[in-house]
């Protein structure tokens, strides 16, 4: 299964990606996570990416695409993958299509996580991430009174780009650059919308129902 998740920042892509990828036994490939790992590791890629991420802008396509090409070439991605956060504009989508075509492959399905703006802002404002295992939490919805990860005990942190100013800009970037992907994938005939409101488990169930007809 070759799957892409699209949706605005805060829609729950990372949260759902954890469960969907595990249900389907395919690797979850989150470009935001790979960039953040490079930023923490102080690599050249991380230094470059950080300037764009801190502003809430997209990292340039050529850098992002080279990184995704390398990741998709790894052994664990040969029988399927779930992409979270890539593609993020139509140019990236076109290059992904060509890249897969060169390998004799194509995407099976694109799931769009649909939530309204108010909910997205609420979700981003309370997002916390575990510095140890990367799990995503929410201060209010997961009732996180301490700053510790329930899964591994690691310290939770708030992403720099989840501050109010940057969030506003990221939502504009989504509308301008990423939202056009929805009609791009409708035209390709592989987009399915999923209502991403309500409890996490219910959203996962809806997503799995949407995926079922496409499983080989
Ligand atoms: P969110 O989970 O809020 O949607 P991500 O973790 O996916 O955010 O991405 C964080 C940041 O990493 C983005 O704001 C952008 O700077 C960078 N980034 C992630 N994926 C891409 C991509 N496909 N193209 C360009 N930049 C990206
Ligand atoms: P994205 O990757 O699309 O930016 P995340 O998966 O990081 O989104 O989720 C953003 C925030 O919203 C996190 O704090 C997460 O715990 C929370 N969240 C995700 N899904 C739900 C849901 N169905 N209901 C309430 N909160 C959610």
- Mean pLDDT, rounded, for 38-43: 96
DSSP letters along 68-99, please? HHHHHTSGGGTT-EEEES---SHHHHHHHHHH
pLDDT 10s digits, 43-96: 999 999 999 999 999 999 999 999 999 999 999 999 999 999 999 999 999 999
* Percentage, residues of the chain above pLDDT 90: 94
- Known active-site residue 88: yes
Q: What is the pLDDT of residue 74?
A: 98
Q: Is 13 a catalytic residue?
A: yes
| pLDDT classification of 115: cutoffs 50, 70, 90 | very high
159 is catalytic: yes
DSSP state of 148: B
Active site residue 36: no
Instruction: Give the burial class of 144: count Cβ atoms within 10 A of its Cβ; 0-12 exposed, 13-18 middle, 19 or more buried.
Output: middle
* CB of 65 closer than 6 angstroms to any ligand 1 atom: no
Ligand 2 atom showing the smallest separation from residue 136 Cα: 16
Q: Is 85 in the pocket of ligand 1 (CB under 6 A)?
A: yes
**pLDDT at res. 164:** 87
pLDDT beyond 80 at 35:
yes
Per-residue model confidence (pLDDT) at position 144: 87
- The reported pLDDT for the residue numbered 161 is 93
Could you tell which of 31, 122, 125, 161 is best to mutate to test the pocket of ligand 1, judged by most ligand atoms within 8 Å of the CB? 31
Residue nearest (by alpha carbon) to ligand 1 atom 1: 9
- Which pLDDT score, from 0 to 100, does residue 94 have? 98
User: Does ligand 1 come within 6 angstroms of the Cβ of 129?
Assistant: no
Q: What distance in angstroms lies between residue 127's CA and the mean position of ligand 1's atoms?
A: 15
Q: What b/e sequence results for 98-116 when a residue is b if at least 16 CB atoms lie within 10 Å of its CB, and e otherwise?
A: eeeeeeeeebebbbbbebe
pLDDT of 112 over the 90 cut: yes
- What does the DSSP 8-state code read for residue 60? P
Q: Catalogue the long-range contacts made by 32-36 (C-beta closer than 8 Å, 24 or more residues apart).
A: 32/84, 32/85, 33/84, 33/134, 34/67, 34/71, 35/59, 35/67, 36/159
Does residue 158 contact residue 146 with C-beta atoms inside 8 Å?
no
Distance 14 CA to ligand 2 centre (A): 7
The contacts of residue 53 (CB under 8 Å, 6+ apart) are 35, 36, 39, 59, 160, 161
Find the Cα–Cα–Cα–Cα dihedral 99, 100, 101, 103, rounded to 10°. Answer: 100
Q: List the one residue out of 78, 87, 76 whose CA is nearest residue 30.
A: 87
CA of 77 to the centre of ligand 1 (A): 20
128 catalytically annotated: no
How much is the mean pLDDT over the chain?
96
Predicted pLDDT at 165 = 87
Instruction: Give kind and range of the element (H or E) at residue 206.
Output: helix 200-211
Closest atom of ligand 1 to CA, residue 52: 16
First to last CA, the chain: 8
Please give the pLDDT value at position 216: 73
Tell which phi-psi region holds residue 185, choosing left (phi > 0), alpha (psi between -120 and 50) or beta.
alpha
Nearest atom, ligand 2, residue 9 CA:
4
| Per-residue model confidence as pLDDT tens digits over 161-211 | 999 889 999 999 999 999 999 999 999 999 999 999 999 999 999 999 999
CA angle 63, 67, 68 (to 5 degrees): 120
Q: What is the mean pLDDT of residues 7-17?
A: 97
Q: What is the largest CA-CA distance in the chain?
A: 50
Tokens of 23: 């249900």
């Amino acid at each position: 299964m070759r799957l892409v998740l699209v949706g605005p920042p805060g829609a729950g892509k990372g949260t759902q990606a954890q469960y969907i990828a595990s249900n389907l036994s395919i690797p979850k490939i989150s470009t935001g996570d790979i960039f953040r790992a490079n930023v923490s590791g102080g690599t050249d890629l991380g230094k470059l990416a950080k300037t764009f991420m801190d502003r809430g802008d997209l990292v340039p396509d050529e850098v992002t695409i080279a990184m995704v090409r390398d990741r998709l070439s790894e052994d664990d991605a040969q029988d399927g993958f779930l992409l979270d956060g890539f593609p993020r504009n139509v140019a990236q989508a076109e290059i992904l299509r060509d890249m897969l075509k060169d390998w004799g492959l194509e995407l099976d399905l694109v799931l769009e996580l649909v939530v309204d703006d108010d909910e997205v802002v609420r979700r981003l404002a309370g997002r916390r991430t575990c510095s140890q295992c990367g799990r995503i939490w929410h201060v209010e919805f997961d009732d996180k009174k301490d700053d510790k990860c329930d899964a591994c005990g690691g310290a939770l942190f708030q992403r720099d780009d989840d501050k109010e100013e940057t969030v506003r800009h990221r939502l504009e970037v989504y509308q301008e650059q990423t939202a056009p992907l929805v009609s791009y994938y409708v035209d390709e005939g592989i987009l399915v919308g999923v209502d991403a409101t309500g409890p996490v488990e219910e959203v996962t169930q809806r997503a799995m129902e949407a995926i079922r007809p496409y499983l080989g």
